[in-house]
Amino acid sequence: MEENLHKGHRQKVKDKYLKTGGLDAFADHEILELLLFYAYPMKDTNPIAHKFLKEYTSLYELMSDSPENIQKRLKVTENVSVLLTLIPHIYKRYMLSSQAEKPVIDTFEKASLFLQNILEGLKEERVYALFLDARKRLVKYECVSEGSVSVSLIYSDKIAKRALMENAEFIILSHNHPAGSPLPSQEDIETTKKVKNALMAINIMLIDHIIVSGNDYRKNFSFAKNGLI
State whether 122 and 183 are in the same domain. yes
Contact 102, 137 (CB under 8 A): yes
- Residue 216 reports pLDDT greater than 70: yes
Percentage of the chain with pLDDT > 90? 59
Q: Are residues 65 and 112 in the same domain?
A: no
Q: Any idea what the CATH number is for the domain that residue 208 is in?
A: 3.40.140.10
Are residues 81 and 6 part of one domain? yes
Pair (111, 203) in one structural domain: yes
Domain co-membership, 16 together with 37: yes
Helices vs. strands in the chain: H and E counts, helices first: 9, 5
Q: Is the pLDDT of residue 217 over 60?
A: yes
User: In this structure, what are the phi and psi dihedrals at residue 56, rounded to the nearest 5 degrees?
Assistant: -105, -15
The predicted-structure confidence for 62-89, as pLDDT tens digits, reads as follows 998 999 999 999 999 999 999 999 998 8
pLDDT digits (tens, 9 = 90+) for 88-112: 888 878 877 766 668 899 999 999 9
- Do the domain assignments include residue 60? yes
Q: Cβ distance 204 to 160 under 8 Å?
A: yes
Q: 74 lies in which domain range?
A: 2-95
The CA distance from 184 to 177, in Å, is 9
Instruction: Say whether both 85 and 150 belong to one domain.
Output: no
- Does a structural domain hold residue 229? no
The total number of structural domains that make up the chain:
2
Distance CA 114, CA 38 (A): 30
Closest of 73, 76, 7 to residue 37, by C-alpha: 7
